[in-house]
Every structure is written in structure tokens, then in C-alpha cells.
């Protein structure tokens, strides 16, 4: 991964898995554990393929919340181990990645152990166990994701760097900083000094808010004389509240977020903003569907030198509507129309913003 970024390539990441698979009936909301990699591999494989066809250069292993302590707490599995899920997920990701020019990222996320004990030894042992599972399958690089305390992310980076492979570290933080109040700039500095090759943010807040946070991280690195590649994989929903705890504090989470969903045109704007900010690994997290990933690849097609396979069935900026039988629809076959559209929600009694819960667990 570092070689491709060092060469100036713009990397398109994949999208969200747990929320997509929950909506399709393969993941149980609450603990969001990834046993579908074993129970329903065809569902995970299909979503991987859709992201690949949409232009993703990286296929992440479906191993979110796959530490043994999280699986035990969830109660979702009784006869499947974390190691079995990790290895099955690696096989699925590699199978699909090999169908295109994609890399496989072995992914680890925050652990219940950290909040419970703050024990560096215990938390690192959990990450080490997951790392060993991934190394059996020779993944291409690692991603630390969905971690809201920079200290835990540092421990993960330190463990994963012992593999000799590149490590990306993305925090789910707001511009206010992590759950301990560590500012984004300082978070980035600590991650890079711990050995992270790629740093950034993922999930919790909407794309433009996440771009703002990564800009703060970049400024911190620049001021400290440090260098790293920048990465962003934000939420696929609008969160103008920009609250400390992110979208999990919103009253609509997790079953009524549809009216907040990004349009493909929102994603075009996000991709351009991210690229202009110097971010060269651009993907999505919860709420990002394959057509959103296609929008990233289409917006940056000039920089990347090609369009994704999925663009064969999509007219850029609505161009295919030029063949529509209705003249008022044909009139929408132009970029200016979609760039300037203010979509209605169709819900006249609904507010444009909500009041987030303020009891987010730190």
C-alpha cells in the first residue's frame, strides 16, 4: 500500500459492511459482530464484489468487532471463534481482490477490554492474536479502525508494525478530538511516531466534517515536521450536529437514518474536497454503499486515469437521462442540475437536525 501511495496513486477505499449486511439480514444490530463471514459467506463475497466493481482499490476483511472479548460479550456466536472468522474473512477478501487490481487490508477495531481495564498488556495481547490470524493469510497491509481513544490506537499500531507490513490508523473522532480530549493534530502526531504509515479518520461523522478533522491532523503533522499518507472513510449520512459522540448519539441511530443518507452528488463533492485537502486514500464507512464508492471513483477519474467497471451502467452526471421519454427528465441530464439540487426529504413534520444524546460513554 505504501508503495502505491508513494507513487502518487489515488486510492479508493471500499464502503460500509456491518450496516449494509444488517439491512440485508446477515448482521445483528447491537454488537454488530461479523460471523456472517462464516455463516453467510455468499453475502459478504457479493458486497466485496460490488465495492470492487464500483472502483475500490482495497478490500477490507469483514472482521469488525472480531476480538474474542467482543464476541463473548455479544452472545451472537457460541460455536465459532474469532480466529475462524478472521481467517474466513481473509479468504473472502483475497478471492474478490484477486478478481481485480485490489489489495487486502486486515482490519482490527476497538476492544471492550480497553474501556474495561485500560491494560496495555491485555489489549495488546488481543491485537497480537488478531494479527497472527491475518498473517497466516498474508494480507497486504493492516487498518486500525473505529477507535475513539488514541491510546488504544497507538497500542494497536505498535503491535501491528511488528509484522513488517504497512499500517493505516483511522480514529472515529470529531474535530473536538478523541474521547479523552486529545486534539486531532496531537492524535496524528502520536500515531505517526508510533509507526503508522497512514493516518486519518473513519465513521461517526459525515464526510465534510471528517475532511475538516483530517485537515487538522495534517496541520499537526506539518508543524511537527512529520510525514504520513492521509486517509478518510467517513459516515454515509449527514451529521450537521457535529457532536462529540458522533452518529451513535443521534436519536435516529441505527434504524431510522435513511433520510440522512448522502446522495451520489454529495459524494462527488466530498471526494473533491478530500483530494484537494491532500488526502489520497478516500473511501467510506457505515452508510457508504457501492454507488457511493463509484461516485468517488468517477469524481477522481481524471486523477486516477480510468473509470470503474460500474460506470458502464451509469451516465456521468445524469447523462443517460438524455434518452428519457419525458422532456422534464431529459432536462436533468446535466451536471449543473444535480450539483445545485436541494433534495427534499418528503417528511414535512421532520426537523432538519436532532438533539444528540449527551451521555456518550467515554
Binding residues for Zn(2+): 203, 285-286
Alpha helices in the chain (DSSP H): 2-6, 18-23, 36-39, 41-54, 68-74, 82-97, 112-117, 120-136, 150-161, 184-194, 207-224, 264-276, 290-299, 301-304, 327-330, 335-340
Q: Rounded to 5 degrees, what are φ and ψ at 109?
A: -135, 180
HSE-CB of 241 using CA atoms within 13 angstroms: 22
Q: 323, exposed or middle or buried, with CB in 10 Å at 0-12, 13-18, 19+?
A: exposed
Q: Which residues are annotated as a binding site?
A: 203, 285-286
Instruction: Give which of 199, 259, 195 is closest to 232, Cα–Cα.
Output: 199
Residue 65 region by backbone torsions, left for phi larger than 0, else alpha for psi between -120 and 50, else beta: left
Distance of CA 210 to the CA centre of its chain: 11
Dihedral sign from CA coordinates of 301, 272, 269, 149: positive
Amino acid at each position: 500500500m505504501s508503495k502505491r501511495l508513494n507513487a502518487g496513486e489515488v486510492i479508493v477505499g471500499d464502503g460500509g459492511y456491518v450496516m449494509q449486511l444488517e439491512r440485508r439480514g446477515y448482521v445483528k444490530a447491537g454488537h454488530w459482530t461479523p460471523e456472517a463471514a462464516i455463516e453467510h459467506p455468499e453475502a459478504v463475497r457479493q458486497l466485496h464484489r460490488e465495492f470492487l466493481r464500483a472502483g475500490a482499490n482495497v478490500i477490507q476483511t469483514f472482521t469488525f468487532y472480531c476480538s474474542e472479548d467482543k464476541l463473548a460479550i455479544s452472545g451472537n456466536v457460541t460455536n465459532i471463534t474469532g480466529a475462524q472468522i478472521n481467517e474466513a474473512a481473509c479468504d473472502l477478501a483475497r478471492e474478490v481482490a484477486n478478481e481485480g487490481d485490489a489489495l487486502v487490508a486486515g482490519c482490527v477495531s476497538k476492544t471492550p477490554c480497553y474501556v474495561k481495564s485500560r491494560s496495555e498488556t491485555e489489549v495488546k495481547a488481543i491485537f497480537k492474536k488478531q494479527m497472527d490470524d491475518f498473517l497466516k493469510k498474508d494480507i497486504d497491509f493492516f487498518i486500525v479502525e473505529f477507535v475513539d481513544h488514541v491510546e488504544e490506537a497507538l497500542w494497536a499500531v505498535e503491535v501491528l508494525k511488528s509484522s513488517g507490513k504497512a499500517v493505516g490508523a483511522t480514529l472515529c473522532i470529531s474535530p473536538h478530538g478523541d474521547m479523552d480530549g486529545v486534539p486531532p493534530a496531537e492524535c496524528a502526531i502520536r500515531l505517526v511516531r508510533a509507526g503508522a504509515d497512514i493516518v486519518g479518520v473513519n465513521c461517526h461523522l459525515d464526510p465534510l466534517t471528517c475532511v475538516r478533522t483530517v485537515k487538522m491532523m495534517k496541520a499537526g503533522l506539518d508543524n511537527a515536521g512529520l510525514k504520513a499518507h492521509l486517509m478518510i472513510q467517513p459516515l454515509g449520512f449527514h451529521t450537521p450536529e457535529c457532536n462529540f459522540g458522533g452518529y451513535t448519539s443521534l436519536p435516529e441511530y441505527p434504524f431510522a437514518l435513511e433520510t440522512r443518507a448522502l446522495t451520489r452528488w454529495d459524494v462527488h463533492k466530498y471526494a473533491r474536497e478530500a483530494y484537494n485537502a491532500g488526502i489520497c486514500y478516500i473511501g467510506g464507512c457505515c452508510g457508504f454503499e457501492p454507488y457511493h464508492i463509484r461516485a468517488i471513483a468517477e469524481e477522481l477519474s481524471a486523477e486516477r486515469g480510468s473509470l470503474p467497471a460500474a460506470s458502464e451502467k451509469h451516465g456521468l452526471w445524469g447523462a443517460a437521462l438524455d434518452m428519457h421519454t419525458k422532456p422534464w427528465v431529459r432536462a436533468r441530464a446535466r451536471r449543473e442540475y444535480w450539483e445545485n439540487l436541494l433534495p427534499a426529504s418528503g417528511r414535512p413534520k421532520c426537523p432538519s437536525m436532532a438533539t444528540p444524546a449527551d451521555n456518550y460513554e467515554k
